[in-house]
């Protein structure tokens, strides 16, 4: 079974630009969550999508947005990039296993904002 695939793996942008990151979940997984990881703040929850609907959202500004398609693939977008947006962006898909939600993470997309 293929794992969670994130593209691109690395990208460099400049301040003010926007970026779109993609995540393909494990086949059959309907929930996709996004996380931001920085050295200073650790792993922080961005948002979660389930069946094309945003089910939960973390404490991030509106510049961070996402969506999920009917095939469960998800994208996240960051507009008007700031230097502080440099981070590893992780996507996870999950399957409910007897009441417990187990996340499977992708390798991440490392964004550098110059």
Partner 1 sequence: DAKTTQPTSMDCAEGRAANLPCNHSTISGNEYVYWYRQIHSQGPQYIIHGLKNNETNEMASLIITEDRKSSTLILPHATLRDTAVYYCIVRAAGGNNDMRFGAGTRLTVKP
Does 105 sit near partner 1 (CB under 8 A)?
yes
User: Which is nearest to 2 in space by CA: 106, 91, 90?
Assistant: 106
CB 96 within 8 A of CB 103: no
Q: How far is the CB of 31 from partner 1 (least distance, A)?
A: 5
Does the CA dihedral 8-47-52-66 come out positive or negative?
A: negative
Among 36, 68, 74, 108, binds partner 1 (CB under 8 A): 108
User: Which is nearest to 82 in space by CA: 113, 43, 110, 56?
Assistant: 113
**CA–CA separation, 103 vs 8, rounded Å?**
21
The site string for partner 1 over 61-80 (x = CB under 8 A, - otherwise) reads --------------------
Of residues 23-62, which lie at the interface with partner 1 (CB under 8 A)? 31, 33, 35, 42-45, 48, 50, 55-56, 58
Among 19, 92, 111, 113, binds partner 1 (CB under 8 A): 92
Q: How far is the CB of 46 from partner 1 (least distance, A)?
A: 9
CB 73 within 8 A of CB 12: no
Q: Which residues bind partner 1 (CB under 8 A)?
A: 4, 31, 33, 35, 42-45, 48, 50, 55-56, 58, 88, 90, 92, 94, 96, 99-108
């Amino acid at each position: 079974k293929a794992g969670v695939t994130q593209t691109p793996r690395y990208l460099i942008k400049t301040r003010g630009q926007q970026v779109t990151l993609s995540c393909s979940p494990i086949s059959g997984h309907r929930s996709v969550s996004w996380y931001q990881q920085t050295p200073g703040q650790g792993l922080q929850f961005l948002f979660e999508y389930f069946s094309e609907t945003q089910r939960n959202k973390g404490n991030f500004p509106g510049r961070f947005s996402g969506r999920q398609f009917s095939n469960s693939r998800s994208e996240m977008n960051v507009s008007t990039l700031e230097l502080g947006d440099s981070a590893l962006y992780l996507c996870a898909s999950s399957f409910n296993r007897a009441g417990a939600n187990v996340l499977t993470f992708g390798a991440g997309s490392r964004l550098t904002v110059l």
